[in-house]
Protein backbone atom coordinates (compact mmCIF):
# COMPACT_ATOMS: atom_id res chain seq x y z
CA UNK A 1 0.00 0.00 0.00
CA UNK A 2 1.32 3.42 -0.94
CA UNK A 3 0.05 6.66 0.61
CA UNK A 4 1.59 9.95 -0.48
CA UNK A 5 1.75 12.93 1.91
CA UNK A 6 1.78 16.33 0.21
CA UNK A 7 3.36 19.16 2.21
CA UNK A 8 4.95 22.49 1.40
CA UNK A 9 4.84 25.02 4.22
CA UNK A 10 6.42 25.13 7.66
CA UNK A 11 3.46 24.07 9.86
CA UNK A 12 2.87 21.08 7.58
CA UNK A 13 6.32 19.69 8.35
CA UNK A 14 5.30 19.52 12.02
CA UNK A 15 1.97 17.90 11.12
CA UNK A 16 3.43 15.23 8.83
CA UNK A 17 6.29 14.17 11.15
CA UNK A 18 4.64 11.48 13.28
CA UNK A 19 2.04 10.43 10.70
CA UNK A 20 4.58 9.23 8.12
CA UNK A 21 6.70 7.51 10.78
CA UNK A 22 3.65 5.65 12.09
CA UNK A 23 2.58 4.59 8.57
CA UNK A 24 6.11 3.36 7.78
CA UNK A 25 6.22 1.33 11.01
CA UNK A 26 3.08 -0.46 9.86
CA UNK A 27 4.70 -1.39 6.55
CA UNK A 28 2.84 1.20 4.51
CA UNK A 29 4.92 2.99 1.89
CA UNK A 30 4.57 6.65 2.88
CA UNK A 31 6.58 8.95 0.60
CA UNK A 32 6.52 12.72 1.10
CA UNK A 33 6.07 15.09 -1.83
CA UNK A 34 7.26 18.64 -1.06
CA UNK A 35 5.72 21.34 -3.22
CA UNK A 36 8.55 23.77 -2.45
CA UNK A 37 6.14 26.48 -1.22
CA UNK A 38 8.65 27.13 1.58
CA UNK A 39 12.25 26.86 0.47
CA UNK A 40 14.52 28.82 2.86
CA UNK A 41 16.69 26.57 5.04
CA UNK A 42 15.07 27.82 8.27
CA UNK A 43 11.56 27.46 6.85
CA UNK A 44 11.97 23.91 5.52
CA UNK A 45 15.17 21.78 5.66
CA UNK A 46 15.81 22.66 9.32
CA UNK A 47 12.41 21.19 10.26
CA UNK A 48 13.06 17.95 8.35
CA UNK A 49 16.38 17.62 10.15
CA UNK A 50 15.23 18.42 13.66
CA UNK A 51 11.98 16.40 13.55
CA UNK A 52 13.77 13.53 11.73
CA UNK A 53 11.27 13.55 8.89
CA UNK A 54 12.20 11.32 5.93
CA UNK A 55 13.52 13.31 2.96
CA UNK A 56 10.85 14.11 0.36
CA UNK A 57 10.99 11.83 -2.69
CA UNK A 58 10.23 14.82 -4.89
CA UNK A 59 10.47 18.57 -4.44
CA UNK A 60 8.44 20.53 -6.98
CA UNK A 61 10.32 23.75 -6.13
CA UNK A 62 7.33 25.94 -6.96
CA UNK A 63 8.61 28.80 -4.78
CA UNK A 64 6.74 32.05 -4.23
CA UNK A 65 4.23 33.79 -6.47
CA UNK A 66 0.62 34.90 -6.62
CA UNK A 67 -1.95 32.37 -5.44
CA UNK A 68 -2.75 31.33 -9.01
CA UNK A 69 0.91 31.06 -10.02
CA UNK A 70 1.86 29.04 -6.96
CA UNK A 71 -1.18 26.73 -7.01
CA UNK A 72 -1.13 26.10 -10.76
CA UNK A 73 2.55 25.10 -10.70
CA UNK A 74 1.74 22.69 -7.88
CA UNK A 75 -1.19 21.18 -9.81
CA UNK A 76 0.96 20.56 -12.89
CA UNK A 77 3.69 18.90 -10.85
CA UNK A 78 1.39 16.86 -8.63
CA UNK A 79 -0.67 15.47 -11.52
CA UNK A 80 2.47 14.01 -13.10
CA UNK A 81 3.61 12.45 -9.85
CA UNK A 82 0.22 10.99 -8.97
CA UNK A 83 -0.15 9.49 -12.46
CA UNK A 84 3.30 7.94 -12.19
CA UNK A 85 3.04 6.72 -8.58
CA UNK A 86 -0.63 5.70 -8.54
CA UNK A 87 -0.94 5.78 -4.73
CA UNK A 88 -3.87 4.21 -2.85
CA UNK A 89 -4.47 7.55 -1.21
CA UNK A 90 -2.97 10.93 -0.55
CA UNK A 91 -2.87 12.84 2.73
CA UNK A 92 -3.03 16.62 2.80
CA UNK A 93 -2.45 18.72 5.92
CA UNK A 94 -3.87 21.99 7.23
CA UNK A 95 -4.91 24.86 5.00
CA UNK A 96 -2.16 26.15 2.74
CA UNK A 97 -2.03 26.40 -1.04
CA UNK A 98 -0.17 23.05 -0.94
CA UNK A 99 -3.20 21.49 0.80
CA UNK A 100 -5.57 22.81 -1.85
CA UNK A 101 -3.37 21.72 -4.76
CA UNK A 102 -2.89 18.24 -3.26
CA UNK A 103 -6.63 17.74 -2.77
CA UNK A 104 -7.62 19.12 -6.16
CA UNK A 105 -5.06 17.13 -8.17
CA UNK A 106 -6.02 13.86 -6.43
CA UNK A 107 -9.77 14.54 -6.78
CA UNK A 108 -9.45 14.83 -10.58
CA UNK A 109 -7.61 11.50 -10.70
CA UNK A 110 -10.09 9.69 -8.42
CA UNK A 111 -7.48 9.09 -5.77
CA UNK A 112 -8.74 8.84 -2.19
CA UNK A 113 -8.00 12.05 -0.25
CA UNK A 114 -7.46 12.22 3.51
CA UNK A 115 -7.38 15.65 5.15
CA UNK A 116 -5.54 16.06 8.45
CA UNK A 117 -6.82 19.03 10.51
CA UNK A 118 -10.26 19.07 8.91
CA UNK A 119 -13.23 21.12 10.09
CA UNK A 120 -11.48 24.36 11.01
CA UNK A 121 -13.31 27.55 10.10
CA UNK A 122 -12.72 31.23 10.78
CA UNK A 123 -15.80 32.22 8.72
CA UNK A 124 -13.65 34.92 7.15
CA UNK A 125 -13.44 34.28 3.43
CA UNK A 126 -10.87 37.02 2.98
CA UNK A 127 -8.30 34.59 4.38
CA UNK A 128 -6.74 32.40 1.68
CA UNK A 129 -6.57 29.62 4.28
CA UNK A 130 -10.36 29.64 4.73
CA UNK A 131 -10.89 29.02 1.01
CA UNK A 132 -8.26 26.26 1.08
CA UNK A 133 -9.94 24.56 4.05
CA UNK A 134 -13.46 24.64 2.67
CA UNK A 135 -12.44 23.25 -0.73
CA UNK A 136 -10.10 20.61 0.73
CA UNK A 137 -12.68 19.39 3.26
CA UNK A 138 -15.41 19.11 0.64
CA UNK A 139 -13.16 17.26 -1.83
CA UNK A 140 -11.82 14.80 0.74
CA UNK A 141 -13.01 11.25 1.32
CA UNK A 142 -11.65 10.96 4.85
CA UNK A 143 -11.62 13.87 7.29
CA UNK A 144 -9.48 13.86 10.44
CA UNK A 145 -10.88 16.39 12.91
CA UNK A 146 -8.51 17.61 15.63
CA UNK A 147 -11.21 18.70 18.13
CA UNK A 148 -14.90 18.14 19.00
CA UNK A 149 -15.63 21.65 17.75
CA UNK A 150 -14.11 20.82 14.33
CA UNK A 151 -16.14 17.60 14.20
CA UNK A 152 -19.36 19.54 14.89
CA UNK A 153 -18.54 21.94 12.03
CA UNK A 154 -18.03 19.02 9.64
CA UNK A 155 -21.37 17.53 10.71
CA UNK A 156 -23.11 20.87 10.15
CA UNK A 157 -21.67 20.97 6.61
CA UNK A 158 -23.02 17.48 5.89
CA UNK A 159 -19.58 15.84 6.10
CA UNK A 160 -20.12 13.90 9.33
CA UNK A 161 -20.07 10.48 7.59
CA UNK A 162 -16.50 11.01 6.40
CA UNK A 163 -15.20 12.45 9.67
CA UNK A 164 -13.11 10.88 12.40
CA UNK A 165 -12.33 12.72 15.64
CA UNK A 166 -8.69 11.73 16.13
CA UNK A 167 -7.10 14.58 18.11
CA UNK A 168 -4.47 17.05 17.01
CA UNK A 169 -1.21 15.88 15.41
CA UNK A 170 0.56 19.12 16.43
CA UNK A 171 -0.26 18.29 20.05
CA UNK A 172 1.23 14.79 19.55
CA UNK A 173 4.48 16.37 18.33
CA UNK A 174 4.52 18.98 21.10
CA UNK A 175 4.19 16.27 23.78
CA UNK A 176 7.10 14.31 22.35
CA UNK A 177 9.43 17.27 21.92
CA UNK A 178 8.48 19.24 25.04
CA UNK A 179 10.92 17.37 27.27
CA UNK A 180 13.74 17.78 24.78
CA UNK A 181 13.01 21.49 24.71
CA UNK A 182 13.69 21.66 28.46
CA UNK A 183 17.34 20.99 27.80
CA UNK A 184 17.58 23.53 25.00
CA UNK A 185 19.59 26.49 26.24
CA UNK A 186 18.15 29.01 23.83
CA UNK A 187 16.72 31.23 26.61
CA UNK A 188 20.12 31.66 28.31
CA UNK A 189 21.97 31.88 25.00
CA UNK A 190 19.80 34.84 24.04
CA UNK A 191 20.59 36.50 27.37
CA UNK A 192 16.98 36.23 28.54
CA UNK A 193 15.42 35.31 31.86
CA UNK A 194 12.41 32.98 32.02
CA UNK A 195 9.08 34.88 32.14
CA UNK A 196 10.88 38.21 31.62
CA UNK A 197 10.32 38.55 27.88
CA UNK A 198 7.52 38.34 25.33
CA UNK A 199 7.51 36.30 22.14
CA UNK A 200 5.84 37.61 18.97
CA UNK A 201 5.11 36.16 15.51
CA UNK A 202 3.29 37.87 12.62
CA UNK A 203 2.86 36.36 9.16
CA UNK A 204 -0.82 36.39 8.10
CA UNK A 205 -1.53 38.23 4.86
CA UNK A 206 -4.29 40.28 6.58
CA UNK A 207 -1.60 41.76 8.88
CA UNK A 208 1.52 41.79 6.70
CA UNK A 209 -0.06 43.06 3.48
CA UNK A 210 -1.86 45.99 5.13
CA UNK A 211 0.62 48.80 5.94
CA UNK A 212 -1.63 50.29 8.66
CA UNK A 213 -2.18 46.98 10.48
CA UNK A 214 1.48 46.01 10.25
CA UNK A 215 2.77 49.38 11.46
CA UNK A 216 0.24 49.46 14.34
CA UNK A 217 1.34 45.98 15.45
CA UNK A 218 5.06 46.85 15.27
CA UNK A 219 4.44 50.15 17.05
CA UNK A 220 2.62 48.27 19.87
CA UNK A 221 5.41 45.68 20.16
CA UNK A 222 8.01 48.48 20.33
CA UNK A 223 6.18 50.04 23.28
CA UNK A 224 6.06 46.99 25.58
CA UNK A 225 7.69 46.85 29.00
CA UNK A 226 9.85 43.73 28.44
CA UNK A 227 12.05 42.59 25.52
CA UNK A 228 9.99 41.20 22.62
CA UNK A 229 11.63 38.35 20.73
CA UNK A 230 10.36 38.56 17.17
CA UNK A 231 11.37 35.69 14.84
CA UNK A 232 10.25 37.32 11.63
CA UNK A 233 8.71 35.34 8.79
CA UNK A 234 10.42 36.28 5.46
CA UNK A 235 7.16 37.80 4.17
CA UNK A 236 6.92 40.07 7.25
CA UNK A 237 10.54 41.21 6.99
CA UNK A 238 10.09 42.00 3.31
CA UNK A 239 6.92 44.02 3.90
CA UNK A 240 8.47 45.99 6.78
CA UNK A 241 11.28 47.05 4.45
CA UNK A 242 8.83 47.86 1.63
CA UNK A 243 6.59 49.99 3.87
CA UNK A 244 9.57 51.60 5.63
CA UNK A 245 8.39 50.41 9.05
CA UNK A 246 11.09 50.96 11.67
CA UNK A 247 11.33 49.08 14.92
CA UNK A 248 12.78 50.39 18.10
CA UNK A 249 12.41 50.02 21.84
CA UNK A 250 11.80 46.54 23.08
CA UNK A 251 11.76 44.51 19.80
CA UNK A 252 14.55 42.06 19.02
CA UNK A 253 14.16 40.91 15.43
CA UNK A 254 15.66 37.44 14.88
CA UNK A 255 15.66 34.89 12.02
CA UNK A 256 12.95 32.19 11.86
CA UNK A 257 13.69 29.58 14.54
CA UNK A 258 13.84 25.83 14.66
CA UNK A 259 10.89 23.96 16.20
CA UNK A 260 12.74 23.11 19.43
CA UNK A 261 14.10 26.60 19.90
CA UNK A 262 10.69 28.09 19.28
CA UNK A 263 8.73 25.89 21.67
CA UNK A 264 11.39 26.43 24.34
CA UNK A 265 11.19 30.21 23.94
CA UNK A 266 7.39 29.93 24.01
CA UNK A 267 7.36 27.83 27.14
CA UNK A 268 9.41 30.38 29.11
CA UNK A 269 7.78 33.52 27.65
CA UNK A 270 5.72 35.79 29.93
CA UNK A 271 3.16 36.13 27.12
CA UNK A 272 2.97 35.45 23.41
CA UNK A 273 1.57 37.74 20.71
CA UNK A 274 0.76 35.97 17.47
CA UNK A 275 -1.45 35.64 14.40
CA UNK A 276 -0.52 31.97 13.90
CA UNK A 277 -3.02 29.17 14.49
CA UNK A 278 -0.53 26.58 15.73
CA UNK A 279 1.06 28.97 18.22
CA UNK A 280 -2.33 29.69 19.87
CA UNK A 281 -2.74 25.96 20.59
CA UNK A 282 0.87 25.48 21.69
CA UNK A 283 0.57 28.44 24.10
CA UNK A 284 -2.62 26.94 25.58
CA UNK A 285 -0.99 23.55 26.11
CA UNK A 286 2.12 25.14 27.65
CA UNK A 287 0.08 27.52 29.85
CA UNK A 288 1.35 30.73 28.27
CA UNK A 289 -1.17 33.62 27.97
CA UNK A 290 -1.81 34.26 24.28
CA UNK A 291 -2.71 37.61 22.72
CA UNK A 292 -3.96 36.94 19.21
CA UNK A 293 -3.41 39.65 16.60
CA UNK A 294 -6.53 38.71 14.66
CA UNK A 295 -10.25 39.42 14.77
CA UNK A 296 -11.32 35.78 14.84
CA UNK A 297 -9.83 32.37 15.56
CA UNK A 298 -10.43 28.78 14.49
CA UNK A 299 -9.19 27.51 17.88
CA UNK A 300 -12.20 28.85 19.79
CA UNK A 301 -11.65 26.65 22.86
CA UNK A 302 -8.48 28.58 23.76
CA UNK A 303 -10.58 31.78 23.96
CA UNK A 304 -13.56 30.12 25.70
CA UNK A 305 -11.28 28.78 28.44
CA UNK A 306 -9.83 32.27 28.95
CA UNK A 307 -6.24 31.61 27.82
CA UNK A 308 -6.40 33.50 24.54
CA UNK A 309 -7.68 37.00 23.77
CA UNK A 310 -8.43 38.40 20.30
CA UNK A 311 -7.22 41.99 19.91
CA UNK A 312 -6.89 42.43 16.14
CA UNK A 313 -4.23 44.91 15.07
CA UNK A 314 -5.22 47.79 17.35
CA UNK A 315 -2.17 49.37 19.02
CA UNK A 316 -4.10 50.27 22.18
CA UNK A 317 -5.83 46.92 22.55
CA UNK A 318 -2.51 45.09 22.12
CA UNK A 319 -0.75 47.21 24.76
CA UNK A 320 -3.67 46.95 27.20
CA UNK A 321 -3.90 43.17 26.76
CA UNK A 322 -0.19 42.72 27.46
CA UNK A 323 -0.55 44.77 30.66
CA UNK A 324 -3.82 43.28 31.93
CA UNK A 325 -4.57 39.86 30.40
CA UNK A 326 -3.91 37.31 33.11
CA UNK A 327 -5.58 33.92 32.60
CA UNK A 328 -6.11 31.61 35.55
CA UNK A 329 -8.75 29.12 34.41
CA UNK A 330 -8.33 25.39 34.01
CA UNK A 331 -6.85 24.06 30.76
CA UNK A 332 -8.54 20.98 29.30
CA UNK A 333 -7.56 18.12 27.01
CA UNK A 334 -9.16 19.56 23.88
CA UNK A 335 -6.44 18.26 21.58
CA UNK A 336 -6.60 14.56 22.43
CA UNK A 337 -4.19 12.25 24.20
CA UNK A 338 -1.05 12.49 22.07
CA UNK A 339 -1.98 9.59 19.76
CA UNK A 340 -3.84 11.32 16.93
CA UNK A 341 -1.17 10.05 14.49
CA UNK A 342 -1.90 6.44 15.51
CA UNK A 343 -5.65 6.86 15.01
CA UNK A 344 -4.98 8.39 11.60
CA UNK A 345 -2.80 5.39 10.70
CA UNK A 346 -5.55 2.99 11.91
CA UNK A 347 -8.02 4.54 9.47
CA UNK A 348 -5.53 4.80 6.59
CA UNK A 349 -4.50 1.14 7.05
CA UNK A 350 -8.12 0.12 6.53
CA UNK A 351 -8.66 2.07 3.30
C1 LIG B 1 1.78 30.01 4.15
C2 LIG B 1 0.31 29.61 4.28
C3 LIG B 1 -0.18 29.90 5.69
C4 LIG B 1 0.73 29.29 6.73
C5 LIG B 1 2.15 29.77 6.48
C6 LIG B 1 3.15 29.25 7.47
C7 LIG B 1 -0.94 29.81 2.18
C8 LIG B 1 -1.96 30.59 1.46
N9 LIG B 1 -0.53 30.33 3.34
O10 LIG B 1 1.83 31.44 4.27
O11 LIG B 1 -1.48 29.38 5.84
O12 LIG B 1 0.29 29.67 8.02
O13 LIG B 1 2.53 29.39 5.17
O14 LIG B 1 4.33 29.97 7.41
O15 LIG B 1 -0.56 28.76 1.74
N16 LIG B 1 9.11 33.31 1.60
C17 LIG B 1 10.47 33.23 1.64
N18 LIG B 1 11.04 32.02 1.90
C19 LIG B 1 10.32 30.92 2.13
C20 LIG B 1 8.92 31.01 2.07
C21 LIG B 1 8.32 32.20 1.82
O22 LIG B 1 11.19 34.21 1.45
O23 LIG B 1 10.91 29.86 2.39
C24 LIG B 1 8.48 34.62 1.35
C25 LIG B 1 8.26 34.93 -0.09
O26 LIG B 1 8.56 36.25 -0.29
C27 LIG B 1 6.77 34.70 -0.28
C28 LIG B 1 6.21 35.05 1.10
O29 LIG B 1 7.24 34.68 2.02
O30 LIG B 1 6.26 35.50 -1.29
C31 LIG B 1 4.95 34.32 1.43
O32 LIG B 1 5.12 32.90 1.36
P33 LIG B 1 3.88 31.95 1.00
O34 LIG B 1 4.33 30.57 0.99
O35 LIG B 1 3.16 32.45 -0.18
O36 LIG B 1 2.87 32.14 2.19
P37 LIG B 1 3.10 32.24 3.75
O38 LIG B 1 2.92 33.66 4.13
O39 LIG B 1 4.35 31.58 4.24
109 and 30 part of one domain: yes
Please name the residue whose Cα sits nearest to atom 5 of ligand 1: 9
Tally of structural domains, the chain:
2
Q: List all residues whose CB is within 6 A of at least one atom of ligand 1.
A: 9-11, 37-40, 43, 64, 95-97, 128-129, 203, 233-235, 238
CA atoms lying within 13 Å on the CB side of residue 152: 5
Give the side-chain half-sphere CA count within 13 A for 322: 27
303 and 182 share a domain?
yes
CATH number of the domain within which 59 lies = 3.40.50.2000
Q: How far apart are the first and last CA of the chain?
A: 9
Indicate whether 228 and 290 sit together in one domain: yes
| Closest CA to ligand 1's atom 13 | 9
Alpha carbon of 163 to ligand 1 centroid (Å):
29
Same domain, 153 and 261: no
What is the domain range of residue 319?
A: 177-324
| Sheet with strand 251-254: strands edge to edge | 251-254, 228-231, 198-201, 271-274, 290-292, 308-310
Q: Print pLDDT tens along the chain (351 aa).
A: 999 999 999 999 999 999 999 999 999 999 999 999 999 999 999 999 999 999 999 999 999 999 999 999 999 999 999 999 999 999 999 999 999 999 999 999 999 999 999 999 999 999 999 999 999 999 999 999 999 999 999 999 999 999 999 999 999 999 999 877 667 789 999 999 999 999 999 999 999 999 999 999 999 999 999 999 999 999 999 999 999 998 878 999 999 999 999 999 999 999 999 999 999 999 999 999 999 999 999 999 999 999 999 999 999 999 999 999 999 899 999 999 999 999 999 999 999
SS3 content of the chain, % helix, strand, coil (to 5): 50, 15, 40
Amino acid sequence: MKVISVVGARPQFVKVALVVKELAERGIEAPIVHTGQHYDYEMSALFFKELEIPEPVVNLNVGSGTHAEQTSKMLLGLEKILLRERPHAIIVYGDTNSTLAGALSAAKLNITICHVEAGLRSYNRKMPEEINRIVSDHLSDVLFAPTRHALEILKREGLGDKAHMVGDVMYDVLLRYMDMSMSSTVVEKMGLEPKKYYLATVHRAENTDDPKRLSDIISALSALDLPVIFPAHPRTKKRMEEYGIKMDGSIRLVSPMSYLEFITLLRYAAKVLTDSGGVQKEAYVLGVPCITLRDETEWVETVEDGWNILVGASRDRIITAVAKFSPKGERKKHYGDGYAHKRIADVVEGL
